[in-house]
Chain A
Amino acid sequence: MTATLIWILVALVVVGLYLSWTAGRLDRLHARIDAARAALDAQLLRRASVAQELATSGVLDPAASIVLYEAAHAARQAEEEQREVAESELSQALRAVFGEVQQVEAVREAPGGEEAAEELAQAVRRVPMARRFHNDAVRAARALRRHRKVRWFRLAGHAPFPLAFEMDDEPPAALADRAA
C-alpha cells in the first residue's frame, strides 16, 4: 500500500518537473520572440528614417521624393494592423526609386550621400534578416504551444498566440547587388 503511494508520488513529481521544464522552454521562446520583434521594429524604423531623410534631402527628383516621402511617412505612422501593408509599400517604393544603378550613383555623389546610401543599403539588407529571425522564433513557439501538454496544462498562461510578421521585404536590385 505504502509502496504504491510512494510510486504515485514519484510519478507525480516526475511529471511536475517535466511540465516545469516545458514551461521554462516556452518562457524562453516568448522572450526570444520579444527580443526578435524589438530588433525587427528597430530595423524597420531605421529603414523608414533613412528613406525619409533621402526623400527630403533634395538629391532625388521631386516625383521620386514625393513617392518615397509618402511611403516612409505612412510606414512610420502605421497602426499595428496596417503595419505589414505599410512596410510592404515602402519596400515597393524603394524598389521603384532605387531600381536603377544610376539613381544610387547620383545619391552617392551628393555631399553626405555616401553615408546615406550605405545606411540605406544596410537597412534594406537587415530588415529581411530580422524578419526571418523573428518568424523563426514564432514558428518554434507555435510548434510547442500546439502540443497537448501545453494546451491541457495551460503552460502558456495568458501570453497571446504569437503571429508571424508577413511583408514584402525584397530589397531594391541596385542596392542589394553585392558584385560591385
Chain B
Amino acid sequence: MTADSPDTPLPQNTRAIMTFLREHAPFSSMDDPHLAHFAENAKLTFFSDGEEVLSPEGGVVKDFWVVKQGRIRGERFSEKENRAVTTFEISKGECFPLAALIGERPTRTLHRASGDTFCLSIGHDAFVTLFAESETFRDFCLRGVSSLLDQVNQRIQSTAMASIGSSDSLDTPLERFALRAPIVCSPDLPVNEAVARMHENNVGSIVITDDKQQPTGIFTLRDLRMLVAEGVDSLSKPISRVMTPDPCRLLATENAFDAAMLMAEHHFAHVCVVDDNNRLIGVVSERDLFSLQRVDLVHLARTIGTATHLNTLVSLRADVSRLVDTMLAHGADSGQVVKIITTLNDVTVRRVLELNLKQNDPGISFTWLTFGSEGRQEQTLLTDQDNGILFATPEGMTEDQVREKLLPFARKVNDELAQCGFTLCKGNIMASNPKLCLSETEWDDWFLRFIDASTPQNLVYSSIFLDMRAVYGPDEPLRRLFGRVLERIAKNALFQKMLAGNALQRKPPLTMFRNFRYLSDDNKKVLDLKRQGLAPFVESIRVFALANGIKAANTLERLDELAKKGVFDSKDAGAWKESYSLIQAIRMRAHQDMLADNEPLTNYIDPDDLNPLDRRILRESFRQAQRLQQKLELAYQL
C-alpha cells in the first residue's frame, strides 16, 4: 500500500496526522499501513465560520472527510420556520458524509463550518482502497448507514454485505413508499376517542392536524402506555394536552434512509411525511422500513404466481435464495426472512396446484393443508413437504370415491413440488397418502383418536399436525376443524401433559457447565440447530399455545399471544423470541454458506466455526431454551 520500506521513516507531518487519527474511532482500531495510506493521501482544508463545506448542489460526493479541528453543522431548510435549521453537528475526529458517499449520491444536507474549522479529506481512489483493504474501515462506513436496521443481525450482515454501491432500496423516496393513509384527528378530540380511532384502524399512531392539514402533534401507543403508567386522571381531556407536539417530519421526496436515520437518532417509531406545503401525506413507521425488501419480494412473488410452466417455477427457486441473501445483507431479522420464504413457498405451491388444476381438474372442492414448519410459517431453504388435503364430499359420492379422483392429482402435485426443491417427506406426510386425504368428518375422527388415544411414542412423530395451515382452497373448513381440535385439547389435561413430556424429550445442547453438548460422542463437534436448538422452543411453546386456545401456528406469534394473555411475562417472551430468532438466523446464514459452496443443506454446524460473539450468543440462547423447558416442567409437574 505504501511504498516506503521500514527503514525510511514517514515524514513528520504524515506521522502527525496518523497520531491524530489514532485518537478517534474507527481509525483507533485500524492497522498502521491503512492509517499511513490515509495520511499520505489526505489534504487539509480550512473553512471559516459559516462557510459551506458540502452542499446538495455539489454533485455526487467523492471525498471522505474528517473534522480535524472545529465543527461542521448540517443544515436543512425548514418550511415551517421559514429558515434553515441545524439538523446535526459533527465534531473533532468525526467523519462525514457517510450515507451520501456509500450511496454514491450528492449530500442532502448542507454542511457548513461552525466556527473556524480544519478538515482532513481523502479522494475517492484512496477511499475505495481503504474500503477494500481495511475491514474495520468498511464496517464503520457501512454500519453508519445501516445502524438502525442491523441491531440484531449486525454480525450476519457484515459478512453478507460485500460490494460498495450495490443498489440500496433504502434510497427509495418516501413518496414511492407504500404510505398508509394517515389516521388523523383534530387537537380537541378527547384522548379516549383518539385511541378508539387508532384501534378501529389497527394503527400504532395518530397524527393531530390543524385546519390546514398540517401536523401539529403525534400520539402513539407508546405515549398511551406512558400515560397509563403515570396514572391517568382523565381520558376525556383533549388529545392536544398529551400529544408529542411538533412531530418529526420529512418531505415526500426524502428517502427511506433519511427516515431510518431520524428514527434511529431520536428513538421514535413514526415519522410524518409532508408535502411542500407541510401538509400531511402519510406516516412511515419503523415497521415499514424493516419490510423494505417487499419491493423485491412482491416482484418475485408475482413472477412465481404467473409462471406458466413447471420449469419456470423450478428455475425461480434460485431467485428465492438470492432474495434471502439480500435480506440478510440488509439486516432483516430471521423472523421476517422465514416468513418471506414461507410466503414464496406458498405462492409456489399454489401455482403448482393451479397449473395442475388447469390440466386435469378432479372437480372436487378441497383445501390444501400444510403442517409442521410450513404450517408455522417458519420455513428455511431446507424444507420438506408436510401436506394433506381436506375435501368436501359432493352429494352422492362416497369419501373413497372422492379419494380415487384426488389421490392421482395429489401424487402429481407432490412429485412436481419435489422438482421445485420441496423434498418428499420420508414419513409420507403428504397429500397423496390416503390417510391424509380426508373429508372434514374424517379429519375430526382422526384428531379425536389422535388426542384421546395418543401414546407418548406416537406423539413424537405426530405433533407437527398441530401446526396446521391452509395454503390453497377455502379456509373455513379448516377453521371449524381446528376450533374443535383446540376445544378438545383444552379439555384433555392428560393429552397436554403428554405433549409437554414430549416437548421435554429434546434438551438444549448445553452441559451442566454451560458448555456445548455435541450430537455424538465421536470427534466431530456438531450441533443440530434445528433439533437441538429450535425444537425445544417450538415444542414447548406449542404446548402452552394449544392449552390456552391460541390459534396462531407461528412460534413468534404464539409467543406474542401468550404474553398478551399473561401466560408468559412479557420480558420472558421477549428474551425467548430473541433467542429463537438468533438461532434461526445462525441456521439461515449456515444454509446460505452451504448454498454458496454448492454443498447439500443441513442443519449441522460446528460452533468452533462461529466467531466468539456468535458462540456466546448461541450459548445464551440455549440457556433461554432451558429456562422455557423449566417453565413447562413446572406447569405440568413433570
Q: Is B truly associated with A?
A: no
List residues of A whose CB falls within 8 A of some B CB.
none
Chain B residues within CB distance 8 Å of chain A: none
